Each structure stands twice: as structure tokens, then as C-alpha cells.
Structure 1
Amino acid sequence: MEEADFIVVGAGSAGCVVANRLSENRRNRVLLLEAGGSDLNFWVRMPIGYGKAFHDARINWKLTTEPDPGTGNRPSYWPRGKVIGGSSSINAMVFVRGHAQDFDDWRALGNLGWGYRDVLPYFKEIETNDAGPDEWRGGAGPLTITNIDKAVHPLCANYLAAAQEAGLTYNHDFNGAVQEGVGIYQLTTRDGMRCSAASAFLHPARKRSNLAVEPRSHVRKILFEGRRAIGVEVECAGRVRRVMARREVILCAGAVHSPMLLQHSGVGAPDHLRSLGIELIHAAPQVGENLQDHIGFDYLYESTRPTLNNVLRPWWGRMTVGARYVLTRRGPLSLSVNQGGGFFRSNPNRDRPNLQLYFSPVSYTTAPLGKRPLMSPDPFPGFLLGISNCRPASRGRLGIRSADPYAPPEIRPNYLSSEEDVGELLEGAHFLRRLASTRPMREIIRREIKPGPDVRSDEAMIDDLRARSGTVFHPSGTCAMGPDAGSSVVDPRLRVHGLQGLRVIDASVFPRITSGNINAPTMMVGARGAALVLEDAG
């Protein structure tokens, strides 16, 4: 397709939703361009296969940040999906919408139409919650949300009992009336297989004659006529060509690649672009700024009882669970290792939960930070308790480092550059110790492996969290939404300030990161963004 009404760049979590919604009207010719290839991959489709997908260059951009002062000058590894479905094809599948106040905060920043009551209908319409619909949940959408309460490891019961003994409440649905409390995470799976944005939204739409999907098509830059986007320059199989958009170019390339593509196209900070020899089309210094990401760490324990280590480590265990999965689509391989979890306030002065909990009945004491070999855990029974922040105050930035459209970006996340972030994670570390001291946890803990019982003082615990904290893989905010062109990149209708025919619809538009995993709000942004496009198109 050399011309389309709408060109959508990126078949990821938002792009699949956008392409589906725009092509529902058969009069709209929609072209979806994706740099990666097919998602027909065993490690994509099998839920626990994301441990392999995290490091597979065939389906993963495998990005690395610059050494970061806040985390001991360590670089961070950032897996990002380079495949149909984007990062929804390689993530851990945990479905968390975010706290209701997160979206009311978006609205309070001047983003009318983005409050919780505004976005709730879009959350409901995209999903089928297998527990059934209610005031908060949807029951007829394309994305299947699976409750795994009856399938999780038995040690999750100890975790839930311990958390309640430590003063937290039980919550059966973090995506329902309230987010606060502890419970079992819901997953984007269907019949034991990953239910990615591609599975839910794109594959059912590909039979439409007005939707063309072109994988392995790397968009090099946006084409402009004056201040109007009129198409894109794309390379596929060594051939560079121009594709024209009659109505709009829509960037859904994610929090890393959408700002990169704007900068390669001459939209960004003037001095930065000129230093790289890129012609300035539009001065937009906020492109690539406002980078936000959740950061977390784990406390690891040797267990007195069997954990997933006992099943996944020995070859005969892997064969057994593998055969079970092939025959029934059930068992550990049909789940994520993130099973128990929750949201809590690190101190009572907080107006809402500010920290997220994780309980995984598996441990990896020798794995590098950010890399979990899910099928090769420790050779002894172990588990982890994890913490991540919900609304970090630290802000980073990213941008292109050369005019080469294939060069990786320069990413400076500035983790833990805010003392507020350090303080609340320290409170979280103290809570993990309190959780581990409860009776249900003492029953299953043989010893604390990391950080170890000698790490007790606040100073030592801060040194430890700086040494061992890492990304939770939720970059966002780099093309932030807002009414003021001086402090944001897109307006509340997701149109790039100062330009015509160009929108950004993905996690980069988050003005503030949401509380918890961001795949769900990214798909919601896709649904609401597509509705705005259709409204403006009449």
C-alpha cells in the first residue's frame, strides 16, 4: 500500500488497538508499519517464555541505558518488543490499570477528557474479564483477562496470610473498585496462551481488506509539507520508499521509539538536532524529556518448602511441566512467575498506595540485574519478595545520538535522583523485613539470601537498594500530553503541538506514570486515542 488514509507506526500495545479501531470503518484505508517480524514464535505464545523473549534479538530491541549515577553507575538493560504485538508480546502479562487518582491527576494537569470516569469506559470495552463484568470490569472486549487464583503456587497462600498479618487487606481485584490491598495478579492470557495486543486486536482485524499490515518495515522519518505530516519514509528488505497519508500519521512506536522518530524527522530541541545535522522542522524541546520508569528490587529467600525452583531447575522437571503444558495448556508454563502482589502505603500519611508488591515462588540469586532465566532458577528451593515504586519523582530523558535511523538511543533514566524516591523505597525495604517476620513467612523461610541479615541500618539498606535496584520495564512520558506547548509534546487530543496531521498514541503521552504495570493503560490510551482520531475525522 503506497497511500492510506491513516498510517500507524508501530504494531505494539497501542498500535494494534488503533489499527483495529480505525479499520472498523471500511471507508478508512489503514496501513500499519512494524519494524519487527511475526509473533508466531513459541517463546512469545507460551506465557513463561518471556524469559527467553527478553533476550532474543530477533524479537527484541535489547536496549541499554547509559551508566546511571543513582544506581551505582550501572547501565540498565531495557528489553522492548521488536515484533508484532510490541512489548505486549514479551512482557510478564500482569494486567494492572492503575489507580483511579492517576487519571484524575492527568485531568488536573489540564488534560480534559482523561479523568478516571472518562477513561473507565475504554478500559471496560477493551476487555473480557473472565470473572465476569460489573460496574468496573468489562465482559465483551477482545482482550482476555484471566484470574489465576486457583492455579498459583501453594506458597502464595503464605504470602497472602503474611501480608494480612502485617496489616494489609485482601483485595480480589486490583482493577475493580479499589486498588489497595494484596491479592493474586490477573494476566493477559487466554486458554493457557499469551493474549497480547496482537492476539486480541490485530489478528482478528487482519482479514479486513482496508487494513494492510507490513512487518519488518522500519520507518526512518516522517515526511512534512510545511507543518503538515503527509507520509513516512520506510525501509523494507533494503528498499526505501515513501508512503503517503491522506489524513494522519499516527506514532504508536512506544516511549523510546516515538520520540526518536520525531527527532529523526526534525521535531525536537533545535540545538540537539542541528548538532546532528538534522534539518529542524519544528522546535519541540520537550520531545524525549519527562522520562519516567518504575524501579524496584527483590529480597530473596531460601525456602523450607518446594518452590518452582524444584520444578523448573532439573531437566526431568522441565520435561514434566513441558509435557503437561503441551497436552493441557496448564501448569507453571501457562502463568507468569509474578503471582502474588499488591499495592500499599509505605506510611499512613500517604493519600493512596505508593508502592507495589510482588511475590514470586522462584529465585535467581546469580542472574544479572534485569535478566531472569525463568527456566533456570536456583538449584535449591527459593522465592522472592519484591517492591517497586508507583509514582516516582525522578525524571530522565532520552534521544537520538546520531542521524543514523538505526542507531540505538542515548537513554539517561536518572533513577533515584529524587530523595523522595529513595525514602519511599527504604520504607518499602523495611516493610519487606516486617512481612518476612510474620508467622506465615517464618514457616517457609530457611534464610534470607539477599541482601542478607547483616544489612540492617538505613544506610546499609539504601546502599543495597542503589546497588540492586533495576527497571521494572515501564518507560513512559517522553512525548507527554498537556495543554501547554511549552511543557508538553501533544495536546489532550494527542495531536503534536504546532503541527498538523500528526499524533502520538502510546505510553510516551503519559504526563505522569500510572501506579503499577503500564500495559493496560497503554492499550486504553490506544482505544481512547483512536476514538479521538475518528471524532476529528468526522
Structure 2
Amino acid sequence: MTIGGMTTREKPGSARRVSSSTVPWIGRINASIPALADQLNEIRANQDARRKDLKGSYDYIICGTGCAGSAVAGRLAAVKKSARILVLEAGGWDTAASVLDPNLWVQNIGNHLDWNVFSEPSPSMNGRIIRESMGRVVGGGSSTNALTWSRPFKANLNEWAEISGEPLWGYEHALEIFRNLEDWHGPADARYRGTGGPVWVQPAAGHSAVGTALLEAAKECGHPVLSDQNGAREEMDGGFAYMNHIVRDGLRHSMARAYLYNVLGQENITLLPNSHVHRVVLDGDRAVAVEVDLGDRMVVFWADREIVLCAGGMNSAKILMLSGIGNEKDLKPHGIKTLVNSPDVGANYHNHTLHAACLWESPQPIPLLNTGANVAGFWKSKASLSAPDFNFVQLEFPYATEEIIARYAPPTTAWALCAGLVAPKSRGFLKLRSANPADNPILDARLLTHPDDMAALAAAIEACRELGNSQAMRPFAIREVAPGKKLDKEEMADFIRDGASSFFHSVGTCRMGKDEDAVVDGQLRVKGVRGLRIADGSIMPHIVSSATMAACVLIGERMAEILHKES
């Protein structure tokens, strides 16, 4: 993929505010610590010192500090002051300029903060290899992503509640949690938005001329235009709006800053960056420890109460398989003894497909505002759908795959309108490459293998062209660069496959459900294993129609809520 002229494709190697009576367990994280560099450095130094005096056992061990892991750790440490909590992160501290500066987020794709996982070549993608970027740093993806705070649709969460058999996964309870966790700096909305929570969220800081024009284009094309990307949109068929961003005082406010930095001064929590979890140790049917590579030595940390995997949409499944929890026929060739035969570990992989190919030439360069991505829209291709299957994202630079760049040679003044498939029917799978924890897994993503996904993306591309070629966009469009014309069926299929890429929203490989084959139940317990939970995007039975960061934070909040109620 090429982003603003930067090549990122590589060959795979061997990465409402609510009262406490409404959600009684939750308490309030102390949000009084200013985000000043010297104080953050003091916290990091304190945690680094603890690395020299590690305990052999902890009450809770949380593996991963991404969106869900940070929420689990922060909430537990705040309300369980007597519990000893160990948090493990394979990546380093979140101090890189590309983490802090919202404008530099594209630099995180393929750099040292990325797990650098690639899919297998796929005929459905014209034989192309697709990068699946995941954050390997304190804060996980919330430290490396495009900073968009987009909450799930009501229909998505009510579906989770039905599939899991657990009503508290449903929208109304989730809405309570979102109001409680948000510190919303936009127009007040008592039903949908909260203030005073740990997660700083604000509307896009300023409105760009090209973004405002796109909203006018949406009206021209019959789409609703909303004052807030979240809120009422969640109970609608969709709509266009300026994005919400996790940007505070011009800097990224990741989930690590939202949840972890407020509790790391406490004695009950230890965070170990650069600590790669290799596997979970089982004693019979109970998870009792984790085996961790600290860089200079291997260590086993014992868990007296619970181990929670928050390693992400791919790595939690990988850790399970390395631990002997997975499909026996897939583990045996790697010499891994199957302790729990769970064939669906690694199955049900799916993702949002981002089509990076619809481009227009602007008469002059477009100054980048905020992250360069400020306006988005959601819509349904069919009225019968429970939630939108399209997500349109405007990018103020020529975002396109290598193949599209080579074919259309867009000028540097080009801008993009990307069609996103956010309710895919295609499913892939994940398997171990070897028994070596350092090796990334084999990912057969199988994007666009379901014919309905191809049809939906074709319709979304035509919707993009209608928007981009509208009267409202003419001041910013000398010409349509790509595809440049209406395509016939064969041309459209080729254009889709050459322009298809990933939103980097990998989910589903440890799916939640009440059925026998589900990997985790509605309480996020790994079936067949006591003392082991999973809380991250891998548990999504079906992906939400929004970006996954807010949904993963919700999963972390629910995990902490569940653990608190069980104590």
C-alpha cells in the first residue's frame, strides 16, 4: 500500500456520564494527573524499577495493553487496591513521535511499533499480500491508529447479547458504560455522551473546506448529515459527520494515557513493557501461569486468581495455540500437545475491508487538518440490514494501494474517498507457522471470498463516485483520477481486488458464544479452562460496523466489570 507516496507493502518475514449507582462497581479513575512529560517519565522510571524486584505470583495477570487491556488493568487497579496486578506488554513505552503526534500516525504502519503480520497471497485479491497492522507498544493500536473514536451500532451490540446469551452485552448497558468512560468535549447530550471519564474524546478540531464540501455532497446525494459521529447515529441507518478523535491538547490520548497512567503510581500494579508472553501454563484444566520472554531471560509468573489475554485479534489465538488450546490436528504437526481441543481457535477471522482506490485531483494541495481523516459516513446497501455495511472515509491525501498508484499515477494534490466494507461475510483463519513464539502466524484472511462482499463493495464504490463527482465537490475536483469512469462488471471486479486493503480491524479468532464450539462464553471464560479469560477484538462473534477501538474498550470495561462482580 502507498500512503501519500510512502510504500508500506512488504514481503512477510518470519508483528453520560452516570452516577455510581447506575454502574455501581465502576468507581472513578483519578484523572487529576496532568499529561506532563516529567510526571510521565517519573511513572515510567518507577515501573522500570519494579522490573528489578518482580514477584513470583500476582492475583491478576493481564497480557496486552491495547484498547481492552488498558481498560481492564486501569479499572481493576482503581477498584481493587489490595489486588496485585501484573500487566505484560510485548512492545516498549509509548514515547515515539509517531505515537504522540496525531499527524504522524501513518508512520506507524510497518515500523518497529507494528507486529508486521501479512496475509497469505490470495486469488480473491489478485494474488496480493495484505498487511494486517497491529500496535506493538504500550497502548497497542490506540497508540498507533488513526485516532478515530467511533462507537458500535445498537444492532451490533444487541446481536452480541443474543449470540452470547448475556443481556449485559446489549446496547443499553453498553451505553451506560460509554457515558461513564467518556470525557466528551463536544455538545452536551444526556442520553449518549458522558463527561469526566478517563477517555478524552473531542470532535475534529476545526473543519476543513474539503470535509465541509463532502458533507454538502452527502446532503446532495440524499444522506443524513449529523452533528456528531456517535450518539444518535448508533440507533440510525447511518449518516455523515465530522469524526470524533482521541486528541487532547494536540497530542494523542491513547487508552494507555486514559486508563494506565492514572494508576501506575499505585503499588498494586506493575507494568512490564518489552515482555513477550509465549504461552499460558495449565495444571489440569486450570490456567496457573504465563511463560514470558523478558528479553534477557525467560520467566514464569504465577496467577493466583485470573489470567486475562488481551493480546489482540490475532495474538490471543496464537497464545492459546502455543499453550495447547486449539485444533488438535493443527497443533500436532508442530509438536504441541493438545490440552484442550478447541477447533474454533483461530477460525472466524474477519476484518473490515478498506478500498483504497477512489481518487480525485484537487486544483491545489489540500492542507492536512488533524489526522488528515476528518469526515466519515455510514450507510446500508440494503434497507433490510440491521446495521450499515458501508463506511465512507475521506482522506486529504492520495491514499491508494501500489497497484492503483501504478495504474493511475495520481498527482500529489489528489485526495481519496475510501469505500469500506464493514459487515463482511467472508471468513478466514489463523494457524501457527511454527512452535516458535517469535514467528508470526499464518493468516489466510480470505477477504472478498464471499460474492456478497464483492457486490457490496461495487455498490460502495459507485456511491463514492457519486459523492466525489457531485456539484458540492467540484471546487476540489479537477477530475476523477480513479477509477475515472463507470466500470463494467469485469473491470469493477479487478478494480476492487487491486484496491482492496485492510482497516487493520482483525477480529473473531476466539469468538464469544453460547454454542458448544465457541472459544469463550458470555463471561469471556475460555471454555474448558478455569482461570483464563480473553478480552479483546478476538472475541467478537461478528465485527461491529464501526472502527473497533471503542468496541474493544467496551470489551475491556465489561471484563473488569465481570471480574469485579465475581470477587
Kindly state the Cα deviation for residue 534 of structure 1 after the two structures are TM-superposed: 1.5
Change (3 A) 1:361 1:525: same
| Contact 2:469-2:480 within 8 A present in 1 as well | no
Q: Give unmatched runs, 5+ long, in structure 2.
A: 1-54
**Residue of structure 2 equivalent to 1:519:** 549
Aligned partner letter, 1:529: M
**Residue of structure 1 equivalent to 2:7:** none
Change (3 A) 1:283 1:370: farther
Change (3 A) 1:223 1:68: same
Is 2:91 the partner of 1:36?
A: yes
TM-score with structure 2 setting the length: 0.86
Q: Give the whole-Å Cα distance in 1 for the aligned partners of 2:382 and 2:318.
A: 39
Aligned residue runs from structure 1 range 303-322, under 5 A? 303-308=362-367
Query: Any idea what SS the aligned residue of 1:204 has?
Result: coil
**Residue of structure 1 equivalent to 2:497:** 466
| Contact 1:31-1:212 within 8 A present in 2 as well | yes
Q: Give the whole-Å Cα distance in 1 for the aligned partners of 2:216 and 2:83.
A: 53
Is 2:237 the partner of 1:207?
A: no
Aligned residue runs from structure 1 range 263-282, under 5 A? 263-282=321-340
Is 2:160 the partner of 1:106?
A: yes
**Residue of structure 2 equivalent to 1:439:** 471
Change (3 A) 1:21 1:352: closer
**Residue of structure 2 equivalent to 1:497:** 527
Q: Give the whole-Å Cα distance in 2 for the aligned partners of 1:8 and 1:234.
A: 12
**Residue of structure 2 equivalent to 1:130:** 185
Query: Any idea what SS the aligned residue of 1:171 has?
Result: coil
Kindly state the Cα deviation for residue 369 of structure 1 after the two structures are TM-superposed: 7.1
Is 2:150 the partner of 1:96?
A: yes
Kindly state the Cα deviation for residue 378 of structure 1 after the two structures are TM-superposed: 6.9
Kindly state the Cα deviation for residue 515 of structure 1 after the two structures are TM-superposed: 0.6
Kindly state the Cα deviation for residue 348 of structure 1 after the two structures are TM-superposed: 4.1
**Residue of structure 1 equivalent to 2:110:** 55
Q: Deviations over 1:109-144 (max 9, x none)?
A: 243121111211122221111014521111111111
Kindly state the Cα deviation for residue 46 of structure 1 after the two structures are TM-superposed: 0.4
Change (3 A) 1:16 1:162: same
Kindly state the Cα deviation for residue 368 of structure 1 after the two structures are TM-superposed: 3.2
Query: Any idea what SS the aligned residue of 1:178 has?
Result: helix
Kindly state the Cα deviation for residue 416 of structure 1 after the two structures are TM-superposed: 0.6
Q: Deviations over 1:394-417 (max 9, x none)?
A: 111112111101111000111011
Is 2:287 the partner of 1:257?
A: no
**Residue of structure 1 equivalent to 2:377:** 342
Of 173, 180, 184, which aligns to 2:228? 173
**Residue of structure 2 equivalent to 1:316:** none
Of 214, 222, 246, which aligns to 1:159? 214
Give the fraction of aligned pairs with identical amino acids, expressed as a percent: 31
Is 2:225 the partner of 1:187?
A: no
Q: Give the whole-Å Cα distance in 1 for the aligned partners of 2:404 and 2:203.
A: 26
Change (3 A) 1:20 1:51: same
Aligned partner letter, 2:439: A
| Contact 1:94-1:517 within 8 A present in 2 as well | yes
| Contact 2:511-2:538 within 8 A present in 1 as well | yes
Query: Any idea what SS the aligned residue of 2:360 has?
Result: strand
Q: Give the whole-Å Cα distance in 1 for the aligned partners of 2:382 and 2:564.
A: 44
Aligned partner letter, 2:203: N
Aligned partner letter, 2:275: S
Q: Give the whole-Å Cα distance in 1 for the aligned partners of 2:396 and 2:515.
A: 46
**Residue of structure 1 equivalent to 2:40:** none
Aligned residue runs from structure 1 range 527-538, under 5 A? 527-536=557-566, 538=567
Q: Give the whole-Å Cα distance in 1 for the aligned partners of 2:388 and 2:334.
A: 43
Q: Give the whole-Å Cα distance in 2 for the aligned partners of 1:369 and 1:76.
A: 12
Change (3 A) 1:505 1:290: same
Query: Any idea what SS the aligned residue of 1:109 has?
Result: helix
Aligned partner letter, 2:195: G
Of 221, 224, 231, which aligns to 2:282? 224
Kindly state the Cα deviation for residue 452 of structure 1 after the two structures are TM-superposed: 2.5
Query: Any idea what SS the aligned residue of 1:119 has?
Result: helix
Kindly state the Cα deviation for residue 273 of structure 1 after the two structures are TM-superposed: 0.8
Change (3 A) 1:117 1:518: same
Aligned partner letter, 1:18: V
Q: Give the whole-Å Cα distance in 2 for the aligned partners of 1:175 and 1:181.
A: 10
Kindly state the Cα deviation for residue 23 of structure 1 after the two structures are TM-superposed: 1.1
Kindly state the Cα deviation for residue 349 of structure 1 after the two structures are TM-superposed: 4.6
Aligned partner letter, 1:337: G
Q: Give the whole-Å Cα distance in 1 for the aligned partners of 2:459 and 2:399.
A: 24
**Residue of structure 2 equivalent to 1:508:** 538
Is 2:351 the partner of 1:293?
A: yes
**Residue of structure 2 equivalent to 1:362:** 397
**Residue of structure 1 equivalent to 2:508:** 477
Query: Any idea what SS the aligned residue of 2:261 has?
Result: helix
Kindly state the Cα deviation for residue 47 of structure 1 after the two structures are TM-superposed: 0.5
Aligned partner letter, 2:380: R
Query: Any idea what SS the aligned residue of 2:515 has?
Result: coil
Q: Give the whole-Å Cα distance in 2 for the aligned partners of 1:175 and 1:370.
A: 32
Q: Give the whole-Å Cα distance in 2 for the aligned partners of 1:75 and 1:395.
A: 16
| Contact 2:122-2:129 within 8 A present in 1 as well | yes
Q: Give the whole-Å Cα distance in 1 for the aligned partners of 2:239 and 2:270.
A: 44
Aligned residue runs from structure 1 range 357-396, under 5 A? 357-364=392-399, 368=402, 380-396=412-428
| Contact 1:301-1:383 within 8 A present in 2 as well | yes
| Contact 1:8-1:15 within 8 A present in 2 as well | yes
| Contact 2:280-2:291 within 8 A present in 1 as well | yes
Number of residues of Structure 1 aligned to a counterpart in Structure 2 = 503
| Contact 2:156-2:387 within 8 A present in 1 as well | no
| Contact 1:394-1:421 within 8 A present in 2 as well | yes
Query: Any idea what SS the aligned residue of 1:356 has?
Result: strand
Q: Give the whole-Å Cα distance in 1 for the aligned partners of 2:514 and 2:289.
A: 26
| Contact 2:394-2:416 within 8 A present in 1 as well | yes
| Contact 1:385-1:432 within 8 A present in 2 as well | yes
Of 195, 210, 218, which aligns to 1:139? 195
Kindly state the Cα deviation for residue 178 of structure 1 after the two structures are TM-superposed: 2.2
Aligned partner letter, 1:471: S
Kindly state the Cα deviation for residue 459 of structure 1 after the two structures are TM-superposed: 2.5
| Contact 2:361-2:411 within 8 A present in 1 as well | no
**Residue of structure 2 equivalent to 1:320:** none
Kindly state the Cα deviation for residue 442 of structure 1 after the two structures are TM-superposed: 2.6
Q: Deviations over 1:208-253 (max 9, x none)?
A: 1000001111111111110100111111122111110000111000
Query: Any idea what SS the aligned residue of 1:124 has?
Result: helix
**Residue of structure 1 equivalent to 2:68:** 14
| Contact 1:153-1:361 within 8 A present in 2 as well | no
| Contact 2:360-2:468 within 8 A present in 1 as well | no
Query: Any idea what SS the aligned residue of 1:156 has?
Result: helix
Kindly state the Cα deviation for residue 437 of structure 1 after the two structures are TM-superposed: 2.9
TM-score with structure 1 setting the length: 0.90
Change (3 A) 1:108 1:382: same
**Residue of structure 2 equivalent to 1:415:** 447
Aligned partner letter, 1:299: C
| Contact 1:128-1:145 within 8 A present in 2 as well | yes
| Contact 2:404-2:499 within 8 A present in 1 as well | no
Q: Give the whole-Å Cα distance in 2 for the aligned partners of 1:351 and 1:379.
A: 39
Change (3 A) 1:364 1:494: closer
Change (3 A) 1:351 1:532: closer
Q: Give the whole-Å Cα distance in 1 for the aligned partners of 2:476 and 2:61.
A: 54
Q: Give unmatched runs, 5+ long, in structure 1.
A: 312-331, 372-376
Query: Any idea what SS the aligned residue of 2:61 has?
Result: strand
Aligned partner letter, 1:519: M
